[in-house]
Chain A
């Protein structure tokens, strides 16, 4: 279910203690700040409680006996106490903010860094949306927890403890009465939470379905438009929207009950204290100032208890979010370079594949013993129907996936003994679907080689026939590509893609259907560019249109993961085999 995780509010963490410990370790960089915050919280609470307590002597010793000067003196003292409390809280907030945001930024950085180093397999088996939601929802929750919930929780607990202690000090009997209402609060809260959880689950389910529908339909909005199916879609949407309504109402009803119930229990508590306190002062001589202070506390007591329930939920959600984030961080990255891995220099580009066996899943073998030798500077073409394993072969060279058995060498060096960086730098890939990064045309081409000068970029663009259309863009090379280059046509995108490879200037080129989206006129141009680019480089080419690979040094025909024919164009035609019939099909 897309967006599913986003709405799973009551998802329980699996290993809370471990996760919390780990979250704390992210904050450990700022241990002294943390201690400072703890001290500030205690100061803030102490000041606040002391302020409320001072009402007792103020009434008993000064107001009732009529000592005005004493009253003013006490009030100054009270002002100082209050000021200290407010200052402590203010500083605490500022510090917390800093720690919270720093910590989140640190977690974010780790998450992204790990993501960049995950093997491609991970992305093939996990939905992008799912990873995205870890950056957005999960991190947000962690951030909320770190900046708000955690400190609130701590101060709530400390406040409750402090109040109870002072209450007992003032009057054990009244404290007892107050504490009776606490289990009442607790049990009614639990009953409500239980009930609302059931409805929340139903709500999340309906919401997940609805959001999944929305995601899909809006992504394909143009199709709906072209077919004029707006009304049908609206009808479908309304059905799902209505399905959400009932559980949502119930979920909100039950979760909404919590607050007023707690407030009324706190009022009830107030009433009981007033009555019993009054009786106590008549029969036991309980002081009025004490009652006043106690009533203040009973008000302050309800709030942290109310909050604890929701804070606990927030924290739980944050820990669950952190768990999901850590889960990615803990994924194993691409295998490290083997010890003693070499860095290639002066790559000639002599490539050998020997008896290579590979399947994306071990039980489903795609490549069944591929063997060939691409001599340095040669142009090797792979042809065959979809699913024959052409792209899979391409995926093996940059070690996007590791082979199961057999060997691949570059310049006689097995590729698993070459450092990944150096291996990948020795080759450039041009894929069929081209995607871009937000930035200018210039920056996107330069992606191939970061230290390329503007002149290098333009030279590469000219070389690959991209220059002429770039020139005609509104801002030329400085045109901003947004939304993955939505403002460019397929062909233009591909030209940029090729220019990007050209600027990288690698000894090995992997072209996976590089020209299949380009119109015939541009293709003539680009084919010239590509031919020039391929000069002196080892190139592996996959092409749908056989015309583009006629002059390859070797053409290999792939069928179900095996090379069934190989040779030059003329040799293969003369053979009148698979290649011949593919060729005939395409040109007649």
Chain B
């Protein structure tokens, strides 16, 4: 909410002017029955033609003024609402850019995407509608009431009496209906979840012949959604009949009381007809108001989803020391000092009391079985997650004291699951360094053994990737991702099992290239293949989050049971 107000403030003028414009426009509309009453009572009844023409011209002029104000309102509200949603979208995007890995996993990419697209659109609609219509009904109501009071006090009570009746009944209905919209949204999400899973898993579904099983699952969810929707809508649709009923009752009372007043000469017949018109106007504006409330109700789920992102505290950000941005990574010396780590919300420690010192320029292989904590260990170094206890130092300075930009600029990490973006290969590589020259690009592509296959494409480095572009194999993708990281010329390079799809021959060549041309860079590599481990300066063997052994591969062959196992399992093949 705070965020919305903050942004709305930028459009203060429009937000303040719009209700004013609506006021004038509504006034032009609401005053008409008054004039109509004059025409009937002072023109028709006494047969006075001049009253009819003079009042008639006034009516016409006023309706034109109303049109002008309405158009102005549309113009200003469009600008303000679009400006608002543009800003909101931009702020949300920025906030998402600041989310750390933990929050990205928490929300999930697809949910963040809907928040940035569909949810924002819905909010835009609401703001637009609010600026144009929200004040219309209350203003119309107040003005109509004013005109009725001016003409006849006692009739005004009648109009006033209907208000609490309407507000209470509509309020109750909406209050009962609101919670269902969230429920419906959840069920829609679950239903879509089934579809999405099936799309990803189509091969599995088909190979196990589970089409009908899945259809049954889907239908169960679909019917569940249907029933909830029916239930919710049944509550909501009562709004209109109830409103109509209240208004009908008041019209009958109006005719009753008003009719009596006309008979005893307290009220003129033209005024009575004007009142009837006011009631119709009020009914219509109230219906619009209720409809708007419903749209707002539906959008409130969207708003909640957006607010949730805005209010999510960042679990990881620059510290005050980091904000000063004075420390620089020069060598790539890494020290782990009694590190323990578990994911937020997790119970068991993924890493337990890790102590080690990695010297600048070393190549370290991280070995260990699935779930031993390899990825977690590596992700701590560029501060993608914060340690739970202990301290990591780079060049002797605690990690938190660095600015995050400094860390990410000098520590390049290639993730296990990596992404390329739509664009040319060169553009994708420049992701690592925006102003890289073609020469620099080719240089790193050669190291990553990507140059040859890239130049084999007709368009070479200008080959389009992604939608509508060329399809590359998993191994090729991994090599491009590697080159992209290398382009950064980092002091520390972290490779999280990122060459699994590259064949052994090529992988060995990459490793050789790296060793020759990147002597000063500290390299950490999570690996599964024994030759990767053997070619490293030292190997960390992790077991259940603890360091089982740390040393040169040759030493480990003697000292580490796990390393021996890995070695022999892959050596017998020879």
User: Is A63 a contact partner of B262 (Cβ separation < 8 A)?
Assistant: yes
Across the interface, B83 reaches (CB within 8 A) one of A68, A135, A218, A245, namely: A245
B390 at the interface (CB under 8 A from A): no
Across the interface, A587 reaches (CB within 8 A) one of B49, B281, B348, B573, namely: B573
User: Is B66 a contact partner of A264 (Cβ separation < 8 A)?
Assistant: yes
A229 CB contacts on chain B under 8 angstroms: 431
> In the docked arrangement, what's the CA distance between A422 and B233, Å?
45
Give the contact stretch, choosing among A21-29, A108-116, A159-167, A319-327: A108-116
CB distance from B155 to the nearest CB of A (A): 14
B214 at the interface (CB under 8 A from A): yes
User: Is A295 a contact partner of B241 (Cβ separation < 8 A)?
Assistant: no
> In the docked arrangement, what's the CA distance between A221 and B101, Å?
9
> Chain A at the B interface: mostly helix, strand, loop or mixed?
helix
A154 at the interface (CB under 8 A from B): no
A222 CB contacts on chain B under 8 angstroms: 101, 104, 415, 417, 419
User: Is B528 a contact partner of A520 (Cβ separation < 8 A)?
Assistant: yes
> In the docked arrangement, what's the CA distance between A545 and B388, Å?
38
Across the interface, A219 reaches (CB within 8 A) one of B89, B113, B260, B473, namely: B113
User: Is A271 a contact partner of B100 (Cβ separation < 8 A)?
Assistant: no
User: Is B101 a contact partner of A424 (Cβ separation < 8 A)?
Assistant: no
User: Is B233 a contact partner of A128 (Cβ separation < 8 A)?
Assistant: no
> In the docked arrangement, what's the CA distance between A269 and B225, Å?
45
User: Is B280 a contact partner of A299 (Cβ separation < 8 A)?
Assistant: yes
B303 at the interface (CB under 8 A from A): no
CB distance from B319 to the nearest CB of A (A): 16
- CB-nearest residue of chain B relative to A488? B371
Across the interface, B78 reaches (CB within 8 A) one of A253, A259, A437, namely: A253
> In the docked arrangement, what's the CA distance between A246 and B415, Å?
39
Across the interface, B101 reaches (CB within 8 A) one of A58, A225, A274, A420, namely: A225
> In the docked arrangement, what's the CA distance between A544 and B59, Å?
86
Interface residues of B in 358-372 (CB under 8 A from A): 367-371
User: Is A109 a contact partner of B259 (Cβ separation < 8 A)?
Assistant: no
B79 CB contacts on chain A under 8 angstroms: 249
Using a Cβ cutoff of 8 Å, how many contacts connect chains A and B? 417
User: Is B234 a contact partner of A448 (Cβ separation < 8 A)?
Assistant: no
A223 at the interface (CB under 8 A from B): yes
> In the docked arrangement, what's the CA distance between A425 and B413, Å?
43
A308 at the interface (CB under 8 A from B): no
In the complex, which range does the number of interface residues on chain B fall in? 35 or more
> In the docked arrangement, what's the CA distance between A284 and B267, Å?
25
User: Is B97 a contact partner of A421 (Cβ separation < 8 A)?
Assistant: no
Interface residues of B in 533-569 (CB under 8 A from A): 562, 565-566, 569
Across the interface, B36 reaches (CB within 8 A) one of A245, A274, A522, namely: A274
User: Is B93 a contact partner of A288 (Cβ separation < 8 A)?
Assistant: no
B463 CB contacts on chain A under 8 angstroms: none
User: Is A520 a contact partner of B371 (Cβ separation < 8 A)?
Assistant: no
CB distance from A295 to the nearest CB of B (A): 6
A270 CB contacts on chain B under 8 angstroms: 32, 36
> In the docked arrangement, what's the CA distance between A481 and B336, Å?
32
B197 CB contacts on chain A under 8 angstroms: 435-438, 484
A303 CB contacts on chain B under 8 angstroms: 284
CB distance from B188 to the nearest CB of A (A): 8
B432 at the interface (CB under 8 A from A): yes
> In the docked arrangement, what's the CA distance between A416 and B307, Å?
55
Interface residues of A in 210-247 (CB under 8 A from B): 211-212, 214-234, 237-238, 241-242, 244-245
CB distance from A321 to the nearest CB of B (A): 15
A435 CB contacts on chain B under 8 angstroms: 197, 200-201, 204
CB distance from B221 to the nearest CB of A (A): 10
B53 CB contacts on chain A under 8 angstroms: 275
- CB-nearest residue of chain B relative to A109? B219
A205 at the interface (CB under 8 A from B): no
User: Is A296 a contact partner of B276 (Cβ separation < 8 A)?
Assistant: yes
B164 at the interface (CB under 8 A from A): no
Give the contact stretch, choosing among A31-39, A94-102, A351-359, A532-540: A94-102
- Taking A263-B29, A398-B207 as known contacts, 14 extra A-B pairs with beta carbons closer than 8 A to each other, sorted by chain A number, are A102-B226, A214-B113, A228-B404, A233-B97, A252-B78, A274-B36, A274-B59, A278-B44, A278-B52, A303-B284, A437-B197, A492-B370, A520-B570, A587-B573
Selected A-B contacts with CB under 8 Å, 18 pairs: A68-B259, A75-B255, A82-B245, A93-B241, A123-B199, A218-B112, A226-B384, A227-B432, A230-B98, A241-B93, A252-B128, A264-B63, A267-B32, A295-B277, A303-B284, A424-B206, A504-B208, A544-B504
